[in-house]
Amino acid sequence: MTPVCPERVEGPSLSSPFGAEEGRCFDTLSTNGEGSVEGEAGFTLIEMIVALALFALISLAAFALVETVLSVQRRTDRRLDRIAELDRALYLVGSDFGALSDGPFLMNGAVGMRRNAAGGQVLVGYALVGNVLMRSRGMEPRALVSGVEAAAWRFHRPDGWQEVPTRLREQGRPDAVEMTLRLAAQDGAPGGTLRRVILLPAAP
């Protein structure tokens, strides 16, 4: 925009109905001959393509980051679920053997016992069925730990560890029991060997 001052005219101005004062300047616009104002900037097609490409790259990076975070969260949740499952199993095994009243003894490869409960004595057993460690209380078997490749039990007596327990009425109960589970890796949770030793209460 270029200020333009008209030539000085003697007397009152006849070209302006507003009676412009002498020496007053007016602003004018110069064009490029095509009706557009000189200096007006715009986006070219190449600039638009580059901008869209950058936006697409940023969007892909953000999506990949979100997917990575969600994947880590899912693996963490599965591991936490696995830890909770094992903690519950260890608690029940310790609780059952801690309330032992008779046993432990073997029943078709399963470890069984009688334990004290609120309503009296109840029969409890542990057995590996497929890849699942089952716990039965009375006549109600329930899955306790999944993904178990092998389960082994040992019983401690004054002369050392043995794989076959002794009934209470024969030589007295063992003073400790050892449970060893070989766990398979599953759902992002690592495998390994879980070992737990439970001290048994003294016989009454």
pLDDT in tens, 147-203: 999 999 988 888 888 887 655 445 567 889 999 999 998 777 778 999 999 988 776
List C-alpha distances in Å: 168 to 34, 81, 94.
109, 38, 19
Name the token pair of 31: 């064009």
Q: Based on the fold, state whether residues 106 and 170 are members of the same structural domain.
A: yes
Whether residue 47 lies inside any domain: the answer is no
Looking at the structure of the chain, the number of domains it has is 2
Domain hosting 28: range is 1-40
Whether residue 52 lies inside any domain: the answer is no
80 and 86 Cβ atoms separated by less than 8 Å: no
Does the global pTM surpass 0.85?
no
Q: Based on the fold, state whether residues 34 and 85 are members of the same structural domain.
A: no
Whether residue 171 lies inside any domain: the answer is yes
Q: Based on the fold, state whether residues 65 and 3 are members of the same structural domain.
A: no
Q: Based on the fold, state whether residues 162 and 118 are members of the same structural domain.
A: yes
Whether residue 204 lies inside any domain: the answer is no
Which residues have C-beta within 8 Å of that of residue 175, sequence separation ≥ 6?
A: 156, 157, 158, 199, 200, 202
pLDDT tens for 78-99 read 888 888 999 999 999 999 988 8
Q: Based on the fold, state whether residues 35 and 112 are members of the same structural domain.
A: no
Q: Based on the fold, state whether residues 12 and 106 are members of the same structural domain.
A: no
Whether residue 108 lies inside any domain: the answer is yes
